[in-house]
Each structure stands twice: as structure tokens, then as C-alpha cells.
Amino acid sequence: MGEHHTLLELLGLNSPKAKYWISIGLFLGTYAMIILERYFHRVPAALLGGALAIFIGLVTPKEAWESIDHNTMFLLVGMMVIVSVLIESGFFSILSNWALKLTKGDPLKILLVFTFLTAFLSAFLDNVTTVLFMVPILLQMLVKLRINPIPYVIATVLASNIGGTATLIGDPPNIIIGSLGHFTFNDFLVNIAPIVIITHIFGTITFVLYMKWRGYLERKITDQEELDRIINSQRAEYDIPLMRKGLIVFGITLLLFFFHHLIGLEPGTVALTMAAVLLLWTKLNPEKVFERVEWGTLMFFVGLFMVIGTLEVTGVFEDLAHFVAGIVKDALSGIWIIGGLSAIISGIVDNIPFTMAMSYVLLDLAQSVHFNVEPLWWALALGACLGGNLTIIGASANVVAAGLVEREGYKITFMDFLKMGTPVAVVTVVVALFLLWLKYLIFGV
């Protein structure tokens, strides 16, 4: 067998320096394609980036494969399967119908109940899934109540991004941070969840004030009988035995998340195992369940891990970490720098590749500075997740919600979202980073 040469070797670009710059070019090119969603689908864009890294010889197939974080992938697949079964059981529809009855058609109550419920669900489910469930029900209800649904939908999406920040499994950036930073489910509960709860209150106050100011909270139907008729006509198509099994497995999964460090299992392993148990127990057709799994998102992660892994192999992150270390003098000031930067960038571009890149920077930073970088990881989580509320393209859930309302004949414009999203994002990011800063100021880094 003859000796194989990579494309870079054939072109004489095999030096570490050349590889260094080519990997940056590949990363930026992939990133540009992801940003230009109008022209390229982000999934093939990310996959192409990853595949090209192997094709031209920047990394070996083995290096590319090893750069895919198995914990993130297992956690995503496992949770998507469990959530898919819960969706099939009608659990979320029941929760939403319950919310409708609770609000009795009062616009302010609808806003508060839906945003609270969305934030709560988002803490345990992926934001896109939560939005996919809550928005159609909200739309259906508000149309019947003759209320303009757009501000309510935006508020719901904002709440989902805030709520998702609270836990390890609530938002993809947190899954990445948890996995690469080696943080447990409980670490997130202790360090992030209390901050997010307070932040959510401030976020709610902000959008309630905005909606009150714009007159969006006025009743359109004042006849209580008519209201009751509309509300009581809702009924979900549910399956109680399936829901029982789904909730039992979901409960055990959460319990194992709490104690996963004690039993020495990663959250990804727990989620994947429990998903398999649930499929076997329910005897559901796996192919039907897998239809709800977002394979596109998973493939997007595969591609991104490979592209970003290339930067790690060629030493780009090491240099970036040295650069950040030059700016970040200590953990307390770093909270504001990393958090603020993450929020701004996440508001403009997809927060998943950004978080992935920043995680590698923080990993390398930990080697080159003499202070504890843990607060910076939390600042990254808060900034990346909450910053997604800045613009309509800041988070996947925002884009999904815009698509859902369009199907019903409404439109959320870039400006509609900006007017409500930006004040909420600014308030929540500032409050969250302040609370994080205060915590470390009082209790020490």
C-alpha cells in the first residue's frame, strides 16, 4: 500500500503555522455560513466545516471523532426522546389547558401564567420544544379572545430563554458548559438557578410594564359567560397510562441528575439509559418517537464540535486564552467582561457555536491564570443564554416562534422583537451578572 498524503501536505501547507491560520479560516467561513441563514442551512454548513477539516488534513478522522462531546450528544438525544414521549402523552397540552382555565381570559393573568409556566418548563426541556408547545396554544387562545398575540408570543419566548438558563439541561449552551466545564446538574441548581429566579422576576416586570405602556393588556371580551365558554371548550388528546410512564421515567431521570456525581455517571449516560428504558416500557414504535427528535440540531452539534475541535488541535484556543487572560485580571471583573461579551455576541449570532468556542477558551484560560475561573463559566452561561433575547436571531426558540406565528397569518418583525427583547435582555443580563458578582464578592471566589 502506498503512502497517503493529505491535501495540505500536497499543497505544502502542512506546517503548524499554516494549519493554525487555515483552521481559523475554516472556523470563520463556517461561522459566516451559519450566520447567513438566508442563503445556507446551518446544519449542512456546520457539517461541511467539520468534514472539510478532515478532508484537507487539518485533523485526522480519529481526532475529529474524539472532538465530538459524547456527553452533550447523549444528553440531547436522551432528553429529546423522553420529551417526545411526554408530548405524545399530551402532558404539555394538559398543562397549557390548565393554565387557560386558571387565567379565566384575563390578559395580565394569561401573560403571567404562560410566561411563568414556559420559564418553568424551559428549565427542564429544551427551549425550542417548550416554544413549540406553548406558542400554538397561546395563539389559539388569544385569537379566540380577540387579543393581538404578537407581544404575548414574544414575552413567552423571552421567558423560555430566561427559564432555560436555570439548569444544566435547560438550554444547549448550558449542556455544553456542563459537559466541557465538568459541572453537575446540582452545580447549576446552586449557582445559576437562584439567580435566574430573581432575574425572571425582573424580566417579567420589564415586559409587563412595556405591554401595559403599549396598551396590550386590555380585555377585548368582557362578557364572562362568553369567556368561560371559550376556555372550557379546550381539551387535550391525551394518554394517561403513557403519561404516567413518561413522568415516572422523567422523575427518575431528574433524580439521577441530582445524584449523578455520587453514582459516577454523566448526565448524558443517565438520559440515554432512561430514554431506552422508557421506549422499552411504553412499547411505542421507536421510529415514531424519533420523528420528534431534532436530528438536524444533533447533526449541527456534530459538525460544530468537529470544526471547533480543529481550533483546539491547532492551538488557537490556547492563544485566545492568553489574550483573554491579558484582559481579565481577576474573576470579579471577568464576570462582567465574559458575561457582557457573551450576551452581546449571543444576541447577534447563534449562541451554540459561540459557547462552544468560549468553553475551550475558558478551559485553556484555567491553565494560564492564577485565579479560580468558575465564576467565568457561570458568567458565560448567563450571558450566552440571556443574551439570546436581544434580537430575533439570538436564539433558536425566537426563530421557531416567528415561524409558528407566520403559519397563523401573523408576523413578528425584527423591530417588534427588538423593541421588547432588548430592554428585557439588558435588564436580565445586568441583574444576573450583578447577582453573580455580588455572590462572589460576599462569599469570595
Partner 1 sequence: MEKTLLVLFRDEIFPEVLSVASDIATKLQLGVKVFASDIPPQELESKLPSGGRFEVIRGGGNFEEILEKENPFLTLLPRPKVSPIVHAFKKPWSEKLVESTDRWNFLLVEQGMGKIKKALLYVDRDKASDTYIRTTYEFLQRWGVEFEFTTVFDERSFELLIKKEHPEQEAKELLGKMFEDYISAVREKIKKALGLKRVEILPLKGEVRKTLPYFAKMHGYDLVVISHAYEDKNELIENSETSVAVFKN
* Binding status of residue 281 toward partner 1 by CB under 8 A: no
How many chain residues interact with partner 1 (CB under 8 A)?
Answer: 18
Query: Which one among 102, 247, 298, 435 touches partner 1, defined by CB under 8 A?
Result: 247
Identify which of residues 119 and 243 has a Cβ nearer to partner 1 in the complex: 243
* Binding status of residue 417 toward partner 1 by CB under 8 A: no
* Binding status of residue 238 toward partner 1 by CB under 8 A: yes
Identify which range of 209-217, 263-271, 282-290, 319-327 contacts partner 1 by CB under 8 A: 282-290
Query: Which one among 17, 104, 229, 235 touches partner 1, defined by CB under 8 A?
Result: 235
Query: Which one among 224, 285, 367, 372 touches partner 1, defined by CB under 8 A?
Result: 285
Identify which of residues 225 and 287 has a Cβ nearer to partner 1 in the complex: 287
Q: How many angstroms separate the CA atoms of 122 and 145, rounded?
A: 26
Query: Which one among 38, 287, 407, 442 touches partner 1, defined by CB under 8 A?
Result: 287
* Binding status of residue 254 toward partner 1 by CB under 8 A: no
Identify which of residues 89 and 359 has a Cβ nearer to partner 1 in the complex: 89
For residue 82, the minimal CB distance to partner 1 (Å) is: 16
Query: Which one among 76, 154, 243, 311 touches partner 1, defined by CB under 8 A?
Result: 243
For residue 45, the minimal CB distance to partner 1 (Å) is: 28
For residue 120, the minimal CB distance to partner 1 (Å) is: 14
For residue 235, the minimal CB distance to partner 1 (Å) is: 5
For residue 117, the minimal CB distance to partner 1 (Å) is: 13
Q: What are the Cα distances from residue 199, in Å, to 15, 100, 101, 182?
A: 49, 25, 27, 25
For residue 318, the minimal CB distance to partner 1 (Å) is: 48
CA dihedral 351, 366, 190, 255 (to 10 degrees): 80
Identify which range of 10-18, 25-33, 117-125, 283-291 contacts partner 1 by CB under 8 A: 283-291
Query: Which one among 239, 318, 319, 416 touches partner 1, defined by CB under 8 A?
Result: 239
Query: With helix as H, strand as E and coil as C, how does the chain read?
Result: CCCCCCHHHHCCCCCHHHHHHHHHHHHHHHHHHHHCCCCCCHHHHHHHHHHHHHHCCCCCHHHHHHHCCHHHHHHHHHHHHHHHHHHHCCHHHHHHHHHHHHHCCCHHHHHHHHHHHHHHHHHHCCHHHHHHHHHHHHHHHHHHCCCCCHHHHHHHHHHHHHHHCCCCCCCHHHHHHHHHHCCCHHHHHHHCHHHHHHHHHHHHHHHHHHHHHCCCCCCCCCCHHHHHHHHHCCCCCCCHHHHHHHHHHHHHHHHHHHHHHHHCCCHHHHHHHHHHHHHHHHCCCHHHHHCCCCHHHHHHHHHHHHHHHHHHHCCHHHHHHHHHHHHCCCHHHHHHHHHHHHHHHHHHCCHHHHHHHHHHHHHHHHHHCCCCCHHHHHHHHHHHHHHHHCCCCCCHHHHHHHHHHHHCCCCCCHHHHHHHHHHHHHHHHHHHHHHHHHHHHHHCC
For residue 286, the minimal CB distance to partner 1 (Å) is: 10
Site track for partner 1 across 85-104, x = CB under 8 A: -----xx--x---x------
For residue 98, the minimal CB distance to partner 1 (Å) is: 7
Residue pair 346/306 in contact by the 8 Å Cβ criterion: no
CA dihedral 157, 274, 288, 93 (to 10 degrees): -40
For residue 94, the minimal CB distance to partner 1 (Å) is: 5
For residue 240, the minimal CB distance to partner 1 (Å) is: 4
For residue 329, the minimal CB distance to partner 1 (Å) is: 52
Site track for partner 1 across 42-71, x = CB under 8 A: ------------------------------
> Which spans of this chain sit near partner 1 (rule: CB under 8 A)?
90-91, 94, 98, 235-244, 247, 285, 287-288
